[in-house]
Every structure is written in C-alpha cells, then in structure tokens.
C-alpha cells in the first residue's frame, strides 16, 4: 500500500520539523502517491492527484478569496495534503482563511514549525512509494500465479473462494444476480455474522462500475461473468472504512477481480456439468443426511440461498427414473445433471421453495418448504404432474411411460427433522421402483402406505433377522443358480407374480408348459416345499421381496 499522510508525518525527517496538523486531521489516511515542492499559487494545474504539496507559502495570495481558491483547486485535483513550512512567509500561525478553507474542504493542512530540507522529505517519501510499488508488483505476481494454477487445475468455486478469503484475510461470498449465496468462506468468522439477512444487506450495496468499494458497508464488490453474460457478484466482506483507490491499485481489488475471472473461466469450462446452484443445494442436502451440518448452519445457509426453512412445513421428496439400458459413466452423469435441472425447473414452474440436488448416481432429492397457506397434497400433485409433463417433453422419463418415480416422505415442522423426511422418501423411492411401471394409482406420487409390504421390507433391509430369513427361504435356490448359471429364482418369481397361475406364468416366461412345470418341480425339490400350499408361496414371495430390498 502507498504511504499515507499520517505515515509521512511520522518519518524522522518530518518529525524534525515539528509538524502540527491544523486542519483535516480526520483525513490523514489519504494515500500519498508523490511529493511535489512548489511555491506557485496555481500549482494545481501541474498535479494529477495523490501528491503531498510542500511549500513555504512565500508566493501564496494575501487575500481571503485567493487563499480559498488555492485550497479549492488543490482539493479538486485530489492532492493528499498541504504542508506549509514556517520561516519564510509565516512564522507562528497560518492565515485563518487558509485554515478555514482547508477545514471546510477536509484537506489535511500541516504546519512545520521548524525548517527542514524539502529534498530530504522528497527522497524519504519517494523511497516509500517505490517500495510500495515493488511490493504491489510482488503481490500481483503472487496472485496471478496462484489463480493461474487454480484455473489450470480446474479448481471448483469453493476452492477459488477459499483462496481469495485466505489471501485477503476476510470473508468472501459468491452470490447470484438474485443476491442468493452460492458459496462462501467466512475466514474464521462466525457464519451467522457473515450470512445473516444476506439478501437485504447485499441489495443495499450497489457500487458503480463492475468493481467498486462501498465505504458505508466496507464491502468490496466485483461482477462475475464472461462473454457479456454476468451471472453473479463476488463480495469481500470488510468493515466500514475510507473509500479504496479506484482502478487496480489496491491489492484487495486486484485479488477480488482475479478470483472473479477464475470463477468465470471455471463456469465456461464446466458449463456441461451441474450448475453451481445445484452443487450448493446438493451440499446442503448431503449435510442434512450425513449430519455434517448443524441445524443452525442448514437454516442459515438455506436462508442465504433463498430457501427459508424456519417456520415452514418441510417435505422430503426423492425422484428416481426406472431402470433402462445402463449408459456409459459420462452419459449417466449428464443424464443425472439434466434430470436435476428438470426437477429444479418443475419447482420453479409450480412456484415452490425447495432445495434440489442429486442425492446419488441415480436419484434427485428435494426438501420442499411449504408455507402455512399452501396445501401439501395440491402442491405435491402439481409438482408431480409438471415434472412428468416436462420429463415427457425432454425425454427424461426413463422406461416408464408414466414418468419418473416421485416418492414423498412425511412432512415435518422443524429443520431438525428434515433428515427423517428425506430418509423416508428415499426408502419409499427404493421400494416404489419395483412397483408395476405405469400402474393405475390414485395419487401421482408415492408415500409409505402406497408401497405397503415392499416398503416395510425396505425399512428393515439392514436388519440381520430379515437377511437371515431370506437365506433360510431362498438360500439353496440362490446357490443352485449361482453354481449352474440357472434362472430358477426368476421362474419362481414369475410364478408368484402371476398369482400361482401356471399357464399364465409359462406364457410370461416364454416357455412351453411342460418345460415351465419341470422347472417348478425342480424348485420344489431344491427348497423342499410344496408350491401348491398357499402359506409356502406366501413365505417365498415375502422372501423374494425382501431379497430385492436387501440387494437394493
């Protein structure tokens, strides 16, 4: 940073002159770009701003208007301050008109009560300026090196923001154009202190230009975007203070703009991957499910993201597409990204407030926050219908012509219970995937009562007693199929799903009746059961459903 007027006055060479600040004492933090010695009363025309003017005052005007004009012209050109040495023109005090004009303008005015060598002052201050410029070049090189490496390595936005916060030593927030927080780093400060009531505070900060400092709030803000398409703002959250110099002269300005450039480049490079908003939603949902975030952290971050959760009824929803041909890994990622964006589009179309993000490689999770006046069933029914319509239009329905599976958990009234509704929705979705595709149902979405026995088995799938039951009922048949590469388990499944109608089961298995009957007899011998007994068939059917749940 350039030396300030206060720093110059503290130099040994200046202290020998016994400096006395007679006006503008509250403006001594002005940066000094250069020192200019002049006795001319119209010296302002030769200055560019930021200079500290040294004079003996020998040629200054004698009249009040002339002195006021002299001060006004210096202030308008932006000088850092005016230093007048006693001994040539003035001896004990400066003219009252000069002091009054400087005080009115807020221009630092300093009297040197003892004679000093102006050339010594110039040399000392210019050494500080040159050192500051060299330090600025060093910082600039370091910043460019760090962010070039981040861009080359394809660093994600959180890493870029973390680096900006670390190098600036202050919190950094990335927001979208709606002033919703996409990512942030608090630099060690309490998260609530940084993000509390973010949208309102952010909307009140509108600095001019693409990069600007707001002295009232202390925030330094720069626009994030590329190719003429702005999509957010990067904010360095600082304490209120004097305005920063315009341009790239301040290290924080340079740092913030390099961070914004890295974020814009990252968005261009990974535009075919999930949006930053979806990443942020996914992080929150994952934090809820894994207990990685506390209730207060979830509430605060969701509020900053524009999805208030406190005081709302929360409903967990899980979306899954029915299985089709297994695509390549990159294609599967692209499909999941598109499916997630589709779900977010359906949320917006229905005017709902929700967190929307991928839960795993196959499903999308939502935490819908309903207001007191919103009907739960109507909202969910509208969302399901909109999603199915949009899926059909986008070809995202999977193998079910009725569209993706929409599974809903029980609504809860507090953020601390959000995990429960999301887990229940996940269990319902796992069970509903095995429901008959396209079957007629009263509702457009699944809840726990809709999946009945299959849902219960999915709830118990991690219980060792259920796993033991599966092995006891089907173990020998599973072992036989594994050893002989057979399909007896599948034959048994078809027989039971056809309501123990052997003729219909043979047709469904695409086998002749004698061949199918022979396979059923083999199943009976291996398991030691009579498939004509209802209770045996019931036990085996439950075991098959439990096997699906365990394998899931």
What is the rounded distance in angstroms from the CA atom of residue 343 to the CA atom of residue 516?
44
Between these two residues, 469 and 440, which has the higher pLDDT value? 469
Tell me the average pLDDT of the chain. Answer: 86
The answer to whether 467 and 550 have CB atoms below 8 angstroms apart is: yes
In this structure, which topology does domain 154-269 adopt according to CATH?
Beta-Lactamase (3.30.450)
Q: Which of 456, 475, 473 is nearest to 537 (CA)?
A: 473
Neighbours of 500 (CB within 10 A): 14
**Each residue of 383-407: pLDDT tens digit?**
999 999 998 887 655 545 557 899 9
3-state secondary structure of 224: strand
DSSP 31: B
Global pTM value: 0.59
**Which pairing describes strands 229-236 and 220-226: parallel, antiparallel, or unpaired?**
antiparallel
Give the DSSP per-residue string, 110-173. EEESS---HHHHHHHHHHHHHHHHHHHHHHHHHHHHHHHHHHHTT--HHHHHHHHHHHHTS-EE
The answer to whether 19 and 52 have CB atoms below 8 angstroms apart is: no
Instruction: Note the helical H segments in 395-463.
Output: 418-432, 448-459
Confidence grade of residue 242 (pLDDT, cut at 50, 70, 90) = low
Identity of the highest mean pLDDT range in 244-248, 359-363, 439-443: 359-363
Distance spanning both ends of the chain, measured CA to CA? 61
Burial grade of 134 (CB within 10 A; 0-12, 13-18, 19 or more): exposed
Confidence grade of residue 247 (pLDDT, cut at 50, 70, 90) = very low
pLDDT of residue 152: 75
Between CA 262 and CA 271, with CA 267 as vertex, the angle to 5 degrees is 155
Mean pLDDT of 415-437: 83
pLDDT of residue 396: 54
**Each residue of 8-31: pLDDT tens digit?**
999 999 999 999 999 999 999 899
What is the rounded distance in angstroms from the CA atom of residue 258 to the CA atom of residue 139?
12
What is the rounded distance in angstroms from the CA atom of residue 491 to the CA atom of residue 429?
26
pLDDT at 332 over 80: no
Mean pLDDT of 83-100: 91
What is the rounded distance in angstroms from the CA atom of residue 423 to the CA atom of residue 409?
8
Rg (CA), the chain: 37
**Each residue of 214-234: pLDDT tens digit?**
988 999 999 998 767 788 899
State which CATH number among 3.40.50, 3.40.1130, 3.30.70, 1.10.260 fits the domain covering 276-452.
Answer: 3.30.70
* Lowest mean pLDDT across 166-170, 321-325, 418-422, 521-525: 321-325
pLDDT of residue 407: 92
**List of E strands, 282-342:** 313-320
- How far is CA 63 from each of CA 96, 112, 118, rounded to the nearest angstrom? 11, 22, 26
Confidence grade of residue 272 (pLDDT, cut at 50, 70, 90) = very low
Q: Which of 360, 546, 548, 542 is nearest to 463 (CA)?
A: 546
What is the rounded distance in angstroms from the CA atom of residue 325 to the CA atom of residue 327?
6
Mean pLDDT of 372-377: 92
Between these two residues, 331 and 534, which has the higher pLDDT value? 534
- How far is CA 135 from each of CA 4, 138, 244, rounded to the nearest angstrom? 16, 5, 18
Q: Residue 85 is encoded by which pair of tokens?
A: 């040495």
Confidence grade of residue 443 (pLDDT, cut at 50, 70, 90) = low
pLDDT of residue 51: 92
Could you tell me the residue ranges of all domains in the chain?
A: 5-126, 154-269, 276-452, 464-551
For a pLDDT cut of 90, what percent of the chain falls above it? Answer: 44
pLDDT of residue 402: 58
Identity of the highest mean pLDDT range in 64-73, 245-254, 268-277, 449-458: 64-73
Q: Does domain 5-126 sit in CATH 1.10.3720.10?
A: no
pLDDT of residue 248: 44
* Strands, sheet with 229-236, edge to edge from the N-terminal-most edge strand: 181-185, 172-176, 229-236, 220-226, 211-213
Between these two residues, 96 and 143, which has the higher pLDDT value? 96
* Lowest mean pLDDT across 23-37, 54-68, 215-229, 301-315: 215-229
Confidence grade of residue 176 (pLDDT, cut at 50, 70, 90) = confident
pLDDT of residue 156: 83
- CB-hemisphere CA count at 13 Å for 466? 19
What is the rounded distance in angstroms from the CA atom of residue 69 to the CA atom of residue 141?
43
Confidence grade of residue 246 (pLDDT, cut at 50, 70, 90) = very low
Q: Is the dihedral of CA 216, 220, 224, 226 positive or negative?
A: positive
**Each residue of 493-508: pLDDT tens digit?**
999 989 899 899 999 9
The answer to whether 163 and 46 have CB atoms below 8 angstroms apart is: no
* Strands, sheet with 313-320, edge to edge from the N-terminal-most edge strand: 353-358, 363-370, 313-320, 405-408
Identity of the highest mean pLDDT range in 103-117, 155-169, 455-469: 103-117
Between these two residues, 153 and 512, which has the higher pLDDT value? 512
3-state secondary structure of 340: helix
pLDDT at 434 over 70: no
Neighbours of 552 (CB within 10 A): 13
Q: Residue 136 is encoded by which pair of tokens?
A: 């600025």
pLDDT at 183 over 50: yes
3-state secondary structure of 525: helix
Mean pLDDT of 172-195: 90
pLDDT at 141 over 90: no
What is the rounded distance in angstroms from the CA atom of residue 162 to the CA atom of residue 381?
41
Give the DSSP per-residue string, 207-222. -SSSEEE-TTT--EEE
Confidence grade of residue 338 (pLDDT, cut at 50, 70, 90) = confident
Neighbours of 62 (CB within 10 A): 9
pLDDT of residue 227: 65
**Each residue of 501-528: pLDDT tens digit?**
989 999 999 999 999 989 999 999 999 9
Convert 447-509 into a string of H (helix), E (strand) and C (coil). Answer: CHHHHHHHHHHHHCCCCHHHHHHHHHHHHHHHHHHHHHCCCHHHHHHHHHHCCCCHHHHHHHH
Q: Could you tell me how far CA 487 lies from the centroid of its own chain?
A: 50
pLDDT of residue 266: 77
* Lowest mean pLDDT across 170-184, 219-233, 424-438: 424-438
What is the rounded distance in angstroms from the CA atom of residue 310 to the CA atom of residue 305?
13
């Amino acid at each position: 940073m350039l030396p300030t007027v206060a720093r110059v006055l503290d130099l040994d060479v200046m202290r020998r002159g016994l400096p006395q600040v007679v006006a503008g004492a509250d403006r001594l933090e002005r940066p000094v770009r250069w020192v200019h010695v002049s006795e001319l009363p119209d010296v302002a025309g030769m200055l560019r701003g930021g200079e500290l003017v040294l004079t003996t005052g020998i040629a200054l005007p004698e009249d009040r208007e002339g002195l006021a004009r002299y001060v006004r012209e210096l202030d308008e050109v932006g000088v850092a301050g005016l230093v007048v040495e006693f001994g040539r023109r003035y001896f004990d005090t400066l003219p009252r008109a000069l002091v009054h004009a400087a005080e009115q303008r807020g221009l630092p005015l300093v009297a040197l009560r003892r004679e000093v060598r102006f050339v010594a002052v110039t040399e000392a201050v210019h050494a500080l300026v040159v050192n500051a410029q060299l330090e600025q070049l060093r910082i600039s090189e370091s910043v460019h090196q760090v962010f070039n490496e981040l861009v080359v390595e394809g660093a994600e936005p959180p890493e870029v923001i973390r680096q900006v916060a670390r190098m600036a030593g202050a919190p950094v927030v990335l927001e979208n154009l709606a002033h919703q927080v996409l990512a942030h780093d608090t630099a060690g400060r309490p998260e609530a202190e940084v993000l509390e009531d973010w949208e309102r505070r952010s909307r009140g900060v509108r600095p001019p230009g693409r990069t600007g400092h707001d002295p009232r709030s202390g925030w330094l803000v720069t626009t994030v975007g590329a190719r003429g398409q702005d999509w957010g703002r990067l904010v360095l959250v600082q304490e209120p203070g004097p305005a920063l110099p315009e341009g790239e002269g301040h290290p924080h300005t340079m740092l913030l703009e390099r961070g914004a450039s890295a974020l814009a480049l990252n968005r261009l490079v990974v535009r075919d991957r999930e949006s930053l908003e979806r990443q942020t939603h996914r992080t929150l949902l994952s934090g809820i499910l894994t207990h990685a975030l506390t209730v207060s952290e979830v509430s605060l971050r969701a509020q900053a993201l524009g999805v208030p959760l406190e005081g709302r009824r929360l409903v967990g929803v899980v979306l899954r597409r029915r299985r089709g041909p297994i695509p390549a890994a990159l294609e599967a990622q692209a499909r999941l990204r598109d499916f997630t964006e589709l779900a977010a589009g359906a949320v917006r179309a229905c005017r709902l407030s929700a967190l929307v993000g991928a839960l795993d490689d196959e499903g999308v999770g939502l935490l819908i926050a309903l207001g007191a006046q919103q009907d739960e069933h109507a909202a969910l029914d509208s969302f399901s219908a909109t999603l199915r319509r949009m899926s059909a239009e986008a070809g995202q329905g999977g193998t079910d012509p009725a569209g993706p599976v929409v599974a809903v958990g029980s609504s809860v009234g507090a953020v601390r219970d959000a995990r429960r509704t999301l887990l229940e929705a996940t269990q319902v979705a796992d069970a509903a995937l095995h429901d008959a595709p396209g079957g007629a149902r009263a509702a457009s979405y699944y809840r726990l009562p809709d999946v009945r026995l299959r849902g219960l088995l999915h709830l118990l799938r991690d219980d060792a007693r259920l796993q033991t039951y599966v092995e006891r009922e089907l173990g020998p048949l599973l072992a036989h199929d594994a050893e002989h590469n057979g399909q007896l388990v599948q034959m048994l499944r078809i027989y039971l799903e056809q309501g123990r109608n052997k003729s219909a089961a043979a047709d469904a298995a695409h086998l002749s009746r004698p061949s199918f009957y022979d396979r059923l007899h083999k199943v009976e011998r291996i398991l030691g059961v009579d498939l004509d007994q209802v209770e045996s068939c019931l036990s085996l059917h439950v075991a098959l459903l439990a096997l699906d749940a365990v394998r899931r």
